[in-house]
Amino acid sequence: MAATDAAPTQLEPEDFPNVKYWFRRSWTKMGSESNIFFETQHGEPVNDDRVNDCRRYAREFFDSIDKSKIPPTWKQAPPEMRHTLHNFLVNAFPEFRLCHNNWKVDQMVSPTYTSWCNYWVKRFEPPNRPKRRTWKKTRSSVSRVSECSFVVIHSDPY
pTM of the full structure:
0.66
| Domains of the chain by residue range | 13-129
Backbone angles phi, psi at 66, to 5 degrees: -60, 115
Q: Please, are residues 4 and 87 in contact by the beta-carbon 8 Å criterion?
A: yes
Q: Which residues of the chain have pLDDT under 70?
A: 1-8, 30-35, 121-158
- Residue 61 to residue 81: CA distance in whole angstroms: 10
Neighbours of 108 (CB within 10 A): 22
What pLDDT is attached to residue 13? Answer: 83
What pLDDT is attached to residue 22? Answer: 86
Please report, rounded to a whole number, the percentage of residues in the chain having pLDDT higher than 70.
Answer: 67
Number of H helices, E strands in the chain: 4, 2
What pLDDT is attached to residue 142? Answer: 40
Q: How do beta strands 149-152 and 133-136 pair?
A: antiparallel
What pLDDT is attached to residue 113? Answer: 92
Residue 45 per-residue DSSP state: B
What pLDDT is attached to residue 34? Answer: 64
For 135, how many CA atoms within 13 A lie in the half-sphere containing its CB? 10
76 sits in which H/E element: none
Residues whose CB falls within 8 Å of the CB of residue 103, separated by 6 or more in sequence, listed in order: 23, 24
